[in-house]
């Protein structure tokens, strides 16, 4: 028999014993194999049941994240629309809330052009003829475009002063395509703000909710809405890059503003449009960009607009007291470095304060006897160390108010009184 072939042949007298031994060995092997199969079956996990239990207890996203972060991205199509909603809903909601109140402002103005003096010369007129002279345009129509937003149901639109500057005709176009003629109620060049009134004829207008620019923090979301380069209803997204960026630091010394800086794209035509927070509230008015940089835009804080727009709507002049000086910050180290230079144009006091670099003619500062090289160290008893600080203190005073200054001139300390005046009067 094949099963017992390896045992070899046995004598005839021992065949019964050999047969019993072989059967015993075979039965033992059979029982051992059965026991092994039973033990393996008992210890083997129930894979289908275990897999089902694991899926129920551990969400797919958690398993993918804990095992391999890339698996989540690869398997994202299996996830519901909740992920997409979480990443875009706040921008959509903000734009839906304010978008209908954002308008396009088209302007026209007539510019007179003087004829070339050659055209008036009788010698050249003989050769050129009267026809060529009469064909030369004396006037030209210039067109501009910007943005704005409605802040009152009565048709009050807030925008930049430079958008409607010297405009003969203003047309306001709403988000839904309706157009209204606009009338410039008031402008303030110092803050670059303007109010335009449209005749609603009893039509209800959407209004943009105004936020609190003082509550804005660096890193907050910033949403710019407007009509850049003629592309209506354009939305860009960024963050607040910094706060209280002075107009002097930006390169606009004729303004008195502390800008909100953002990296949300602001392009020509965006001027006057709103800068929104994540809740869809206006926190600024887009106004300027740096031509020599990308991703740097500036907006006027909405709190500044809230403080003066009522005056502009009434056609009133906004008060801007001033002294009439150009100034820089001064420290003892700067003064010592300057004074050690034998070619220095003047010797300055080695103190901390604001150094007068120039006194404008026919201004309150000149009348008060302030000179170039003076160091202003106090105003109304408050120490000053930065030009922006001094300017803000003057800006918050009243027209005609007498301010007391403490000035260092060389080694002498002088008390000087200055009566402020309206900036536009000089």
pLDDT digits (tens, 9 = 90+) for 165-217: 989 999 999 988 899 999 999 999 999 999 999 988 878 899 999 999 999 99
Q: List the catalytic residues.
A: 162, 192, 271
Pairing state of beta strands 156-159 and 139-152?
A: antiparallel
How far is residue 381 from each of residues 14, 350, 377, 403, 415, measured CA to CA in Å?
130, 20, 9, 10, 11
The phi-psi region of residue 129 (left if phi > 0; otherwise alpha if psi is between -120 and 50; otherwise beta) is left
Number of H helices, E strands in the chain: 12, 20
How far, in Å, CA of 301 to CA of 367, rounded? Answer: 34
Furthest CA-CA distance within the chain: 157
pLDDT value of residue 110:
84
Rounded CA-CA distance 53/33 in Å is 32
* pLDDT score recorded for residue 37: 47
Burial class (CB in 10 A: 0-12, 13-18, 19+), 331: middle
Per residue of the chain (426 residues), what is the pLDDT tens digit? Answer: 443 333 333 444 455 555 555 565 555 555 555 555 444 454 444 444 444 433 444 444 444 444 454 444 434 444 445 544 455 579 999 999 999 999 999 999 887 766 556 555 565 555 555 555 555 556 778 888 999 999 999 899 999 999 999 899 999 999 888 999 999 999 999 999 999 999 888 788 999 999 999 999 999 999 999 988 778 889 999 999 999 888 877 777 778 888 999 999 888 888 999 999 999 999 999 987 766 667 789 999 999 999 999 999 999 999 999 999 999 999 999 999 999 999 998 899 999 999 999 999 999 999 999 999 999 999 999 999 999 899 989 999 999 999 999 999 988 999 999 999 998 765
Give the C-alpha separation, 328 to 374, whole Å: 11
Give the model's pLDDT for residue 269.
83
CA dist., res. 94 & res. 216, Å (int)? 16
Residue 341, classified by CB atoms within 10 Å of its CB into exposed (0-12), middle (13-18) or buried (19+), is: exposed
Cβ neighbours for 124, distance < 8 A, ≥ 6 positions apart: 118
Radius of gyration of the chain from its Cα atoms, rounded to whole angstroms = 41
Closest Cα to residue 155, out of 350, 331, 313? 313
Q: pTM for the whole thing?
A: 0.69
């Amino acid at each position: 028999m094949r099963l017992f072939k390896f045992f070899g042949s046995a004598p005839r007298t021992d065949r019964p014993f050999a047969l019993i031994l072989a059967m015993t060995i075979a039965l033992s092997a059979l029982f051992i194999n059965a026991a092994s199969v039973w033990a393996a079956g008992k210890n083997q996990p129930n894979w289908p049941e275990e897999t089902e239990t694991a899926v129920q207890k551990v969400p797919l996203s958690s398993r993918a994240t804990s095992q391999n972060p890339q698996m989540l991205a690869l398997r994202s199509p299996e996830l519901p629309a909740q992920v997409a909603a979480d990443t875009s809903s706040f921008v959509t909601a903000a734009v839906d809330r304010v978008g209908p109140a954002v308008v396009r402002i088209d302007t026209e103005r007539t510019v007179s052009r003087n004829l070339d003096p050659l055209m008036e010369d009788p010698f050249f007129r003989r050769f050129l003829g009267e026809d060529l002279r009469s064909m030369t345009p004396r006037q030209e129509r210039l067109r501009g475009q910007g943005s704005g937003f409605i802040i009152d149901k009565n048709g009050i639109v807030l925008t930049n002063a430079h958008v409607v500057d010297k405009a003969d005709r203003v047309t306001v176009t709403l988000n839904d395509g309706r157009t209204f003629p606009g009338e410039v109620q008031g402008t303030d060049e110092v803050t670059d703000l303007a109010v335009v009134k449209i005749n609603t004829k009893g039509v209800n207008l959407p209004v943009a909710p105004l936020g609190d620019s003082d509550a804005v923090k660096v890193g907050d979301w910033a949403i710019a809405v407007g009509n850049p380069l003629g592309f209506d209803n354009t939305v860009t997204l960024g963050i607040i890059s910094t706060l209280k960026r002075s107009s002097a630091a930006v390169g606009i010394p004729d303004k008195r503003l502390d800008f909100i800086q953002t990296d949300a794209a602001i392009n020509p035509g965006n001027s006057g449009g709103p800068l929104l927070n994540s809740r869809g509230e206006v926190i600024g008015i887009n106004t300027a960009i740096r031509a020599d940089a990308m991703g740097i835009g500036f907006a006027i804080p909405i709190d500044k607009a809230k403080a003066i727009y009522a005056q502009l709507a009434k056609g009133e002049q906004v008060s801007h007291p001033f002294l009439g000086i150009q100034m820089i910050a001064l420290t003892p180290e700067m003064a010592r470095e300057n004074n050690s230079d034998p070619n220095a144009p003047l010797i300055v006091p080695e103190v901390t304060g604001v150094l007068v670099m120039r006194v404008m003619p026919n201004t309150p500062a000149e009348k008060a006897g302030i000179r170039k090289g003076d160091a202003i160290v106090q105003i109304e008893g408050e120490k000053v160390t930065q030009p922006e600080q001094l300017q803000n203190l003057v800006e918050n005073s009243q027209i005609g108010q007498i301010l007391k200054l403490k000035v260092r001139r060389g080694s002498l300390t002088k008390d000087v009184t200055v009566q402020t005046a309206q900036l536009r009067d000089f």
